[in-house]
């Protein structure tokens, strides 16, 4: 495929419906009230493989000749693309080989194997695995399915735009995550073909904004690093085959810092009971950056593959960011009854004590100063300030302690 065409987008949209879960738009009362717009989510995190990647992989396979299918396909990925390709190949009943870095978590390796793919571990990072996969493609004759820099794959991803517009023809703005640019190029190009008045906004991690940098410079830019918790969009170089489509059809690109993703994760869990991975949360965080009111906005939630340990960490950091959990240090004499006094004070202010650390060695004169660090659960910033003010009033001279492991603001 040399260029995107409406005919191919229509073909892809019909084909992927056979293998994808129906991800109808979800209206968000919470985010609508917050933003003053009508906000809808396109929940691709609810796909069988946990992400939109199945669309592009399956459509790519559908375009292969019988001879090409007989030789199988090969790809490189440590995440959603690996699982999308493996499952698409299983549905098409062809062989798939997936090269994954040796650092890939075991759960992702096993999931990819369970979909029927052969997994080869090679290198420490994606680039090394990708190089090996392309070597394998040349040697074996298998078709290499690129994670993003492939117009046929991107056409399959663009089927999301077709579904959005069919369900909500009057959509004003579509928010799309950007990694390498495949999803964004496909969605933006088809959206503009169907309705040039739709505003398409790409969203990138602040520390991996390779597409924004490339658009600004007018040519492909490679970043020195791509350090972000949004690992699915941690790309240093955008796809050169996609760049012009993004430049022509995307109206703006917003960047999001990691702290915003942490808070967005908590918002989605509490208000929608949805697990959305960090890359999929980019569009949720972007809602606060829009200077519009009364618009119909669709935010694409690109995936929901996240391990339990990462979820637990995000929830903890989100609670800290929202002042729902905080730590305070107070000094008190080392004698019986002092701890009880502080506990009674906190109870009277409805602060829930989560953790206590008692340090008797902060001063040589233990009667003058023993440090007590208290981690407290509060209702939010106002309640936190109320508790700190009461401690001050009672002479404890509280100092707020930055929790270990929190992300920099």
Residues designated catalytic = 53, 302
What does the alpha-carbon distance between residue 210 and residue 179 come to, in Å, rounded to a whole number? 8
Q: Are 351 and 300 in contact (CB under 8 A)?
A: no
Coil, helix or strand at residue 55:
helix
How far apart are the two ends of the chain, measured CA to CA in Å? 44
- Number of other CB atoms surrounding residue 257 within 10 Å: 16
Q: What are the structure tokens assigned to 206, written together?
A: 């602040």
Q: What is the CA radius of gyration of the chain?
A: 25
Q: Which DSSP state fits 208?
A: G
The 10 Å Cβ neighbour count of residue 387 is 21
CA 174-175-177 angle, 5° bins: 140
Sorted by sequence, the CB contacts under 8 Å of residue 270 that are 6+ apart come out as none
Task: Dump strand ranges (E) for 93-246.
Answer: 96-100, 118-121, 143-144, 173-177, 199-205
Backbone angles phi, psi at 370, to 5 degrees: -120, 130
In the DSSP assignment, the letter for residue 19 is: T
96 near 86, Cβ under 8 Å?
yes
What are the phi and psi torsion angles at 325 (to 5°)?
Answer: -135, 135
Q: In what order do the strands lie in the sheet with 26-28?
A: 26-28, 38-43, 296-301, 173-177, 199-205, 252-256
- Residue 334's φ and ψ, nearest 5 degrees, are -90, 80
CA atoms of 366 and 335, how far apart (whole Å): 9
């Amino acid at each position: 495929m040399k260029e995107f065409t409406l005919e191919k987008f229509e073909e892809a949209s019909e084909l992927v419906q056979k293998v994808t879960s129906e991800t109808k738009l979800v209206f968000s009362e919470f985010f609508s009230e917050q933003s003053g717009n009508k906000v809808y989510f396109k929940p691709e995190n609810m796909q069988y493989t946990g992400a939109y990647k199945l669309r592009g992989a399956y459509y790519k396979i559908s375009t292969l000749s019988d001879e090409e299918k007989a030789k199988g396909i090969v790809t490189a990925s440590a995440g959603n693309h690996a699982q999308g390709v493996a499952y698409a190949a299983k549905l098409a009943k062809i062989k798939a080989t997936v090269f994954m870095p040796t650092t890939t978590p075991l759960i992702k390796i096993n999931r990819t194997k369970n979909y029927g793919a052969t997994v080869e571990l090679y290198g420490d990072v994606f680039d090394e695995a990708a190089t090996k996969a392309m070597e394998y493609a040349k040697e074996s004759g298998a078709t290499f399915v690129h994670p993003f820099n492939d117009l046929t794959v991107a056409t399959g991803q663009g089927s999301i735009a077709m579904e959005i517009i069919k369900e909500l023809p009057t959509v004003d703005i579509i928010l799309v995550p950007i990694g390498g640019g495949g999803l964004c190029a496909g969605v933006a190009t088809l959206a503009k073909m169907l309705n040039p008045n739709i505003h398409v906004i790409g969203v990138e991690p602040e520390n991996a904004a390779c597409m924004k940098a490339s658009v600004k410079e007018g040519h492909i830019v490679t970043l020195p690093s791509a350090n972000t918790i949004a690992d699915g969009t941690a790309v240093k170089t955008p796809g050169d085959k996609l760049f012009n489509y993004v430049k022509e059809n995307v109206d703006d690109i917003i960047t999001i810092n990691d702290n915003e993703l942490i808070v967005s994760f908590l918002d989605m869990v509490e208000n929608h009971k949805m697990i959305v991975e960090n890359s999929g949360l980019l569009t949720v965080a972007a809602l606060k950056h829009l200077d519009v009111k009364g618009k119909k906005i669709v935010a694409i939630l690109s995936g929901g593959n996240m391990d339990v340990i990462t979820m637990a960490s995000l929830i903890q950091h989100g609670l800290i960011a929202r002042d729902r959990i905080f730590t305070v240090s107070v000094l008190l004499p080392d004698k019986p009854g002092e701890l009880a006094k502080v506990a009674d004070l906190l109870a009277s202010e409805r602060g829930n004590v989560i953790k206590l650390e008692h340090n008797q060695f902060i001063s040589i004169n233990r009667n003058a100063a023993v440090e007590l660090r208290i981690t407290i659960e509060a209702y939010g910033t106002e309640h936190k300030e109320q508790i700190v003010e009461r401690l001050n009033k009672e002479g404890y001279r509280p100092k707020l302690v930055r929790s270990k492991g929190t992300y920099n603001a």
